[in-house]
Structure 1
Amino acid sequence: MSNPAFSVCVYCGSRSGAQPEYANVARQVGTWIGQHNGQLVYGGGNNGLMGLVAQATADAGGRVVGIIPKALQTKENTRTACTELHVVDTMHERKHMMAERADVFLAIPGGIGTFEEFFEVWTWRQLGYHDKPIGLLNTQGYYDGLLQFAQNSVNQGFLNDWQMDLIRSGTEPTALLQDLVQAAGFSPEPQLAGL
């Protein structure tokens, strides 16, 4: 397998959620990454949206890098079929390695872990610890409340518009992924059949 054209860190749920569209979007994200010779960096689990995005990436010919703490191997059902699987000691190591291996970050629907990871890379970006694009895939309006809350923080003087501008949100996976990867300086071209 050739070197990946780019690397997308995806934060998402270890559950599938209440609406089938969440699973569909996870598959679309993974398929797009794989079809464009990309690499998925994610939390290494096989449950919920995590497992779906990893399987779709692999099925479409992409590399899958899973990073999971020892303590979560059973709970998150480690995906042993990753191209690379890294078992680390702590959540801090996991998040640091995920951030290092990524060119862009994308949060799709998920729970408290997804929120925490998204907010952390957004915080790191505004502090200048990295300059990688950050996306929020607002499937079925899932993140409407979060975006409204963040805008309220601007209105109340706790956030600035430039901090809000550090995240790119959208409802269409292909368009958002294309935007993020291009913003990182890459030109995602579809793989040619037979190569």
Structure 2
Amino acid sequence: MPLPEGEFDAYLFDCDGTIADSMPIHYKAWQQALGEWGADFPEELFYAWGGRTPVAVIQELNARQGLAMPVDVVNERREQVFQELLPTVAAVPEVVEHIEAAYGTVPFAVVSGSSRESVTASLTTLGLLDRFDVMVCAGEYLNGKPDPECFLTAATLLGVAPERCVVFEDAELGLQAAAAAGMAAVRVPPPWQRGQLSSR
């Protein structure tokens, strides 16, 4: 998983599916929380919407399926189930290699569509929380990915120009947000593709 060409003064990481191989357990949590309200969330759509905040997902599902799920209640239930499943989460090895290689030489930020509680729990489980100087999470910016706001916020907090940042992202919406921010990016493949890469 090579870096793009150039010199970078900061690394910005998405969390779920990028640092933490947590998308499968996030999907299980969504399935359980939404199933209690009769909502349908196909796996293909779940991955296509990677990078959206949970609130935006629930609101969109309500609109599409003619439901009136209470957003806060469903989101809290989803987070509860996720926390129960969290001990099974693993890190994405190729991304951790970059974290360990550059730690202490450039500042890091986590930029996520998940809540600060969820991101903190994932990074704590993986023993990586202390690596990150800045966290920008759901509820801490107005416009979610593919809008560049979250990445630009992280760059500002780190004091690094956007063009000197490189983003690690697994989701298409996140890669679009990085491009809109004027940042280089490393695409983190989904689990089934990472397995093929490591076997070559």
TM-score (norm. length: structure 2): 0.33
Higher strand residue share: 1
TM-score (norm. length: structure 1): 0.33
Higher helix residue share: 2
Higher relative contact order (CA 8 A, sep 6+): 2
